[in-house]
């Protein structure tokens, strides 16, 4: 029997405004609440934000009579934010408690800035607080392997939220030296970890299989990011015999979006704080339930910088049918790729980082890698640089080559002579790489990818 996600009760309480109230959540209740909040958000954005005053000029809130009307509103893109983030503000700059600056993923090259008021931060903390009760039990200790030094950073908000429960947070930060982290895990007797996939994998596979010098005992791992390779989940699960929960998060979403329940079969989303849509990444048209497309979200409760139909660039789908946990909340399948993450190879076919992730992270001893595509003399070159565990033998190079050839589009292009692999580079220094967005670097001229 799988426990129903506590997020259902949390969302019910938020929607009805009562804590522990009688009654139960229904899809109709969610829909009527979302419609009311959508109108409020559109009215607020049109009145206060310079960007939406222009973008939504022809879309007064009172013209919205059903959730379907959302589809007639224009999208907001990463470029819109990069170009002039201050135009999005619906409050005075004095009310902004935290600004997050993000590397550009758009075409302008300008960084994106995302603003949060204290109330916006409270929404995130409330979600982290209730999300944590999905995973850990009173008395558990969670080591937070995310940046926490700055007030309002993801690790700081998380630690503060966990303190509201009987679960104990241990803020640690980004892993630089796995031995140090393992020592802290052991000394603190942490049984739950919250971190970034490649970082947690580096920790799990730092020691050779079968060794446990540090005597760590992990029950639960929460992986916090947009895309989590299944191969990484499998290796962490196998190493520590633990549960691995995916948390779908991006800064624009207020650092928290959706979290898996104990069924570990897709995220339940923050449906009282967002409307999520899946659209065709090319045409922007709404897709039928269950079809894969780009995730688009609209904030319903954010006051500082509401976002309407924000295109995330992430690809996923809603899973039709009920979750094994029995909730009425919808389930989103884990994000697989980025819209711009697909690289067209010279000999035909598309290669994505997720294909490389699943193939290479399945090789024991591979802890991280980068991939670059370049072009010369009519041939694409795929260069893979790997970070390897200290305990691997020389045969790993062959295993990595084999793994790459197990990707059909790679094998096919090599067979045709339109793709070549450069020698695998290996970093066995033991130093962790700085976490970065997982994309294939495409250095080819005019690739348009």
Residues forming the site for Zn ion (CB under 5 A): 5, 261, 263, 323, 325
Q: Considering the complex, state which of residue 186 and residue 265 has its C-beta at the smaller distance from Zn ion.
A: 265
The token duo for 202 is 């580096």
Shortest separation between residue 2's beta carbon and Zn ion, angstroms = 7
Of 5 and 192, the one with the shorter C-beta distance to Zn ion is 5
Q: Which two tokens stand for residue 332?
A: 């989103």
Instruction: Give the nearest distance from C-beta 74 to Zn ion in angstroms.
Output: 33
Nearer to Zn ion, 261 or 419 (CB): 261
Measured from the CB of residue 384, what is the shortest distance to Zn ion in angstroms?
A: 36
Nearer to Zn ion, 5 or 352 (CB): 5
Burial grade of 374 (CB within 10 A; 0-12, 13-18, 19 or more)? middle
**Measured from the CB of residue 263, what is the shortest distance to Zn ion in angstroms?**
5
**DSSP states of 380-437:** EEEEEEEEE-TT--TTHHHHHHHHHHTSHHHHHHHHHTSEEEPPPEEE-S-PPPPP--
- Counting DSSP H helices and E strands in the chain, the numbers are 12, 21
CB of 327 to Zn ion, least distance (A): 5
* Beta-carbon count within 10 A of 418 CB: 16
With respect to Zn ion, which residue has the nearer C-beta, 5 or 225? 5
Backbone angles phi, psi at 206, to 5 degrees: -65, -45
| Of 236 and 323, CB closest to Zn ion | 323
> CB of residue 334 vs Zn ion: minimum separation in angstroms?
13
Per-residue three-class SS string for 303-358? CCCCCCCEEEEEEECECCCCCCCCCCCCEECCCCEEHHHEEECCCCCEEEHHHHHH
The least CB distance from residue 317 to Zn ion, in Å, is: 16
Cβ neighbors of 200 (< 8 A, separation 6 or more) are: 145, 193, 221, 223, 232, 236
Residue whose beta carbon is closest to Zn ion: 325
Nearer Cβ to Zn ion, position 2 or 50?
2
How far from chain centre, in Å, is Cα 422? 31
């Amino acid at each position: 029997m799988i426990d129903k996600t506590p997020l259902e009760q949390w969302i019910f309480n938020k929607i009805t405004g009562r804590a522990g109230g009688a009654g139960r959540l229904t899809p109709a209740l969610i829909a009527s609440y979302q419609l009311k909040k959508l109108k409020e958000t559109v009215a607020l954005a049109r009145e206060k934000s310079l960007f939406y005053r222009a973008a939504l000029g022809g879309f007064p809130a009172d013209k919205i009579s059903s959730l379907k009307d959302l589809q007639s509103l224009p999208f907001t893109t990463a470029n819109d934010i990069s170009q002039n983030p201050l135009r999005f503000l619906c409050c005075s700059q004095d009310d902004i408690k935290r600004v997050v600056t993000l590397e550009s993923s758009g075409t302008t090259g300008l960084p994106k800035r995302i603003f949060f008021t204290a109330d916006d931060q409270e929404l995130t903390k409330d979600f982290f607080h209730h999300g944590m009760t999905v995973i850990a039990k009173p008395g558990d200790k969670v080591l937070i392997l995310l940046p926490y030094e700055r007030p309002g950073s993801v690790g700081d908000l998380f630690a503060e939220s966990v303190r509201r429960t009987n679960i104990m947070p241990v803020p640690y930060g980004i892993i630089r030296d796995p031995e140090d982290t393992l020592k802290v895990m052991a000394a603190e007797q942490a049984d739950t970890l919250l971190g970034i996939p490649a970082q947690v994998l580096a920790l799990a596979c730092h020691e050779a299989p079968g060794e446990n010098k540090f005597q760590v005992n992990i029950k639960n791992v929460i992986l916090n990011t947009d895309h989590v390779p299944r191969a990484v989940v499998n290796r962490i699960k196998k190493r520590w015999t633990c549960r691995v929960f995916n948390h779908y998060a991006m800064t624009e979403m207020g650092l928290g979006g959706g979290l898996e329940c104990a069924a570990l079969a897709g995220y339940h989303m923050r449906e009282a704080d967002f409307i999520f849509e899946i659209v065709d990444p090319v045409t922007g048209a709404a897709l039928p339930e269950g079809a894969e497309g780009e995730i688009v979200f609209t904030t319903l409760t954010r006051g500082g910088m509401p976002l309407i139909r924000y295109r995330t660039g992430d690809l996923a789908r809603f899973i039709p049918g009920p979750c094994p946990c029995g909730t009425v909340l919808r389930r989103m399948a884990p994000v697989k790729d980025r819209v711009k993450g697909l690289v067209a190879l010279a000999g035909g076919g598309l290669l994505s980082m997720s294909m490389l992730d699943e193939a290479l992270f399945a090789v024991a001893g591979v802890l991280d890698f980068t991939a670059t595509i370049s072009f010369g003399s009519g041939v694409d070159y795929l260069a893979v640089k790997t970070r390897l565990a200290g305990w691997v033998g020389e045969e790993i190079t062959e295993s990595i080559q084999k793994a790459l050839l197990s990707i059909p589009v790679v094998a096919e292009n090599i067979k045709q002579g339109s793709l070549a692999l450069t020698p695998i580079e290996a970093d066995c220094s033991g130093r962790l790489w700085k976490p970065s967005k997982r994309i294939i670097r495409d250095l080819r001229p005019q690739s348009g990818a």
